[in-house]
Structure 1
């Protein structure tokens, strides 16, 4: 692993200070395992298209998205297709026996009932029991929680309350206890993870140090930093900030927030976007970067972006400061933010340099040709 470039060195003093606080006891820890590569695979659409084509040799975990929360229970809303998907995903272990398959509960559209489900001790036990029942019945490997979001609004209509802050932690305690019971029954190890928002408000409305004690990995959704079609265009999955604003959203800032909140570096997993977000902008200055938007533009998945958009007049540019690519169409005044092979390489280097747990990505079907997964595989295992 070569040293950081000058821009990266300038960006990380706080991160190194935080990491230094753990140095006193890091020597007592077991050797760090290889970084994880966690693929979110969408079953919410129904049957997974051609699951046999998933490059499981290049990933360590599949998080199956999503399981719903209904009547206080983990609920297979799409039971008929979910069960087929579970069977076909489990069959992929013949190609990668170390592959772990987890159910991811919640997501943007199915998080409205978390707050009610885990409000009481009895409710938390029921939710944990039904979550683990799915693991037991379909011979899966763990539970991932994607609560968007405890204590703050997510999708319109979601229930949230101040008590979510403590109940978020207590939910993981109940889930871990239920998984431990299953471990005693089967003699197998079961995983507990979460997908978390990368904002300060998420950290402020949770007890991440306490919640992390029960979890194997914390998957930071370091994407969707900008989503408003009528706001300001900009990077949505940038490694560093592109401006002088110290509070500009970036993967680096998000990771720093979780480290400062007490989450161990080896449990932090950085998110990579397999899709782009676009804006139509009013001005053609700065090639559309950080400009006032007049509407949204569909970016599409990375395979589509790479193979189709250059031929349609889009020009690729690289933001050295943010370590992020973007596309600009001068005639249409369209700006698109996304991850590509170069930004993935920078993110993998960052994971190594800061001894993070690995990377995850949303979502597998957005890059069916495997361009970004190949880049992850190539760069994450470099020493």
Structure 2
């Protein structure tokens, strides 16, 4: 980045041109000096406002967080005028529903007396009343330039590394949340201190295969408001593209040759269309001042779609990097991805995951009224009665990490701030003490978040918490799946959901397993006092697993012979291996791994228990309980080995040292 060649004397002199004598004197005293090497203007004060779009919009200067002018930008500085700050520039494509809205148009303030339709320009009819002239007391215009060449590349690399090391809590903000069903969840209701990222959902694909705003009435002002609030809070502001409905929508070539073509499929069907879509996404991101892009294609389910998805991700990463080098920024790229282990391969993880800053795993909607029997919406672990033992958070995250080699630090676990319901559920107990669970049910419960003719029972946690206090409902806890559910015997309604206890367990799981953080669907589901948000925000104060490993001492291999092992059935019904070790040895351990019949079950590493539970005992020892994934059989071989490498990394099994080996007996299964 080159320094401005304009001398201080010329800068001060230029600031005074065309100003009043008083303004010139003020400018001289303030000494506004641009520093192109630091991207700041020395001398900015809270009595100033500034514009980076030629005076179309103005922002009050509130502190040093505003004093960062990146890339190629021209900054106008003026005396603070609160009326300008509190007004908006008239947009002929927008409607103005609230009487008394003040806009700026043609050099004057205008106020609407009633609803103003798009295209009803101020001065064209009586809806707008003209006020005083807009008076901008300018203090100077300053130009900044971006880094060049290798310096730009190095700066991008530095920013990218910082993003990779960050523990993330990404909250999804639903555009439709401002309406009644979501209790008018406007941007000021977001607890910005509880998240690192806000993903605005959704921009959608139209029939021409380009991105556009879905809610043209509320959307524009929402995006402007959120851009300001996230910037002030230091939260990364991302635009999420697609969503479930838009992904499923048949927009082009419907039923041609008997095959339905959906939005993303159609928009990426040729290289030319991929290029057009990617360009429109970048333009939308820049127009609405987002810091990055989140692709929510639900879901690629064929080899052809895998190729199209891959090309879109590649194109976006290239374009975001090129744009970032032009304006000294790093634009983040993430993707909201399936929790279904059968479909992960269609994401082409080997090629796409390295290009993404986070892989946002939607570990919810495992079960719902689309299933004929009840189950858990977002179970942490499996229940023995689950038809698919891999439909749970732990199995999904293992699949991404171990099967597809995506680093844990890049994988984010989905947290659900809502529940799903079934009707016509009898109270019989497939599991003793748990009425309704795994019983037949129907899609007959209308949830608070359901559309008019929907019966998915989708209901926010804030409402479910109140329902749990109703005497007609009983709360039950599934000790195997580690999630609750509500059952109303008189109505025969069954609600699967998450509450404070299960969210805390999931946060503990994310931390202990070393995953990169969490995503939240969605922010509007929490209580007014942000009960669940306060729990998930703890992830932001905990050190990243990678940083912990770098700071910890080299592991020592002493005390391994003193580890005590026990295999037995636990109170929750699972068979587990319990390893008891002195606390110091546990904190110094290298990689100790547990296997049954050669299949990985869990491990211990430098004071962390992976896919296991830790209990601290009174005698300064630690017990690690590792549940076997499947019900063992007599004769199955259990092996504990001392291995090389770190969790999530491959290893040379020839170098493993066997610490303990035994076969399952009948007594262990009692």
TM-score range, shorter chain: 0.7 to 0.9
Distance between the aligned counterparts of 2:505 and 2:291, measured in 1? 30
Distance between the aligned counterparts of 1:244 and 1:315, measured in 2? 21
Residue 190 of structure 2 is matched in structure 1 by: 54
Distance between the aligned counterparts of 1:364 and 1:148, measured in 2? 20
Distance between the aligned counterparts of 2:300 and 2:539, measured in 1? 34
Distance between the aligned counterparts of 2:349 and 2:480, measured in 1? 29
Distance between the aligned counterparts of 1:227 and 1:174, measured in 2? 35
Report 1:108-187 matches (<5 A).
Answer: 108-111=244-247, 112-151=262-301, 162-187=303-328
Residue aligned with 1:79, SS: coil
C-alpha distance after superposition, 1:66-89 (max 9, x if no partner): 111121212223234222111111
More off after superposition, 242-251 vs 229-238: 242-251
Of 271, 287, 292, the residue aligned with 2:440 is: 292
Residue 249 of structure 1 is matched in structure 2 by: 391
Q: 1:133 to 1:31 in 2, by over 3 A?
A: closer
- The answer to whether the Cα contact below 8 Å between 1:233 and 1:279 also exists between their aligned partners in 2 is yes
Residue aligned with 1:175, SS: helix
Cα displacement (A) at 1:119? 2.0
Of 37, 40, 47, the residue aligned with 2:169 is: 37
- The answer to whether the Cα contact below 8 Å between 1:284 and 1:333 also exists between their aligned partners in 2 is no
- The answer to whether the Cα contact below 8 Å between 1:196 and 1:202 also exists between their aligned partners in 2 is no
- Is 1:209 equivalent to 2:345 in the alignment? no
Residue 107 of structure 1 is matched in structure 2 by: 243
Distance between the aligned counterparts of 2:271 and 2:245, measured in 1? 25
Cα displacement (A) at 1:213? 1.2
Distance between the aligned counterparts of 1:136 and 1:94, measured in 2? 14
Distance between the aligned counterparts of 2:355 and 2:282, measured in 1? 15
Residue aligned with 1:372, SS: helix
C-alpha distance after superposition, 1:286-308 (max 9, x if no partner): 31111111444325111111124
Distance between the aligned counterparts of 1:117 and 1:273, measured in 2? 30
Cα displacement (A) at 1:377? 1.9
Residue aligned with 1:237, SS: coil
Cα displacement (A) at 1:230? 5.6
Distance between the aligned counterparts of 1:349 and 1:45, measured in 2? 29
Distance between the aligned counterparts of 1:229 and 1:178, measured in 2? 39
Residue aligned with 1:288, SS: coil
Q: 1:236 to 1:380 in 2, by over 3 A?
A: farther
C-alpha distance after superposition, 1:300-340 (max 9, x if no partner): 11111112442252111211111111112232232211111
C-alpha distance after superposition, 1:177-210 (max 9, x if no partner): 1111210221111110011110022213221121
C-alpha distance after superposition, 1:207-226 (max 9, x if no partner): 11211111001111111101
Q: 1:178 to 1:229 in 2, by over 3 A?
A: closer
More off after superposition, 72-81 vs 102-111: 72-81
Residue aligned with 1:131, SS: helix
Residue aligned with 1:317, SS: strand
- The answer to whether the Cα contact below 8 Å between 1:74 and 1:130 also exists between their aligned partners in 2 is yes
- Is 1:275 equivalent to 2:411 in the alignment? no
- The answer to whether the Cα contact below 8 Å between 2:369 and 2:420 also exists between their aligned partners in 1 is no
- Is 1:79 equivalent to 2:238 in the alignment? no
- The answer to whether the Cα contact below 8 Å between 1:345 and 1:379 also exists between their aligned partners in 2 is no
Q: 1:352 to 1:72 in 2, by over 3 A?
A: same
User: Which consecutive residues of structure 2, in runs of 5 or more, have no partner in the other structure?
Assistant: 1-160, 248-261, 446-456, 544-670
Residue aligned with 2:435, SS: helix
Q: 1:368 to 1:89 in 2, by over 3 A?
A: farther
Distance between the aligned counterparts of 2:539 and 2:240, measured in 1? 26
More off after superposition, 325-334 vs 141-150: 325-334
RCO comparison, higher one (Cα < 8 Å, 6+): 1
Residue aligned with 2:480, SS: coil
- Is 1:375 equivalent to 2:535 in the alignment? yes
Residue aligned with 2:238, SS: strand
Cα displacement (A) at 1:371? 1.6
Distance between the aligned counterparts of 1:327 and 1:241, measured in 2? 18
Cα displacement (A) at 1:284? 2.9
What RMSD in Å do the two structures reach over aligned CA positions? 2.2
Larger helix proportion, structure 1 or 2? 1
Residue aligned with 2:537, SS: helix
Residue 307 of structure 1 is matched in structure 2 by: 466
Residue aligned with 1:125, SS: helix
- The answer to whether the Cα contact below 8 Å between 1:57 and 1:95 also exists between their aligned partners in 2 is no
Residue 573 of structure 2 is matched in structure 1 by: none
Residue aligned with 1:287, SS: coil
Distance between the aligned counterparts of 1:131 and 1:31, measured in 2? 21
Of 522, 530, 554, the residue aligned with 1:363 is: 522
Residue 17 of structure 1 is matched in structure 2 by: none
Given the two structures, how large is their TM-score scaled by the length of structure 1? 0.84
Cα displacement (A) at 1:53? 1.7
Give the total of aligned pairs.
345
C-alpha distance after superposition, 1:231-280 (max 9, x if no partner): 11011111001126563410111112211122221111100111111123
Of 400, 407, 425, the residue aligned with 1:258 is: 400
Residue 661 of structure 2 is matched in structure 1 by: none
Q: 1:30 to 1:216 in 2, by over 3 A?
A: closer
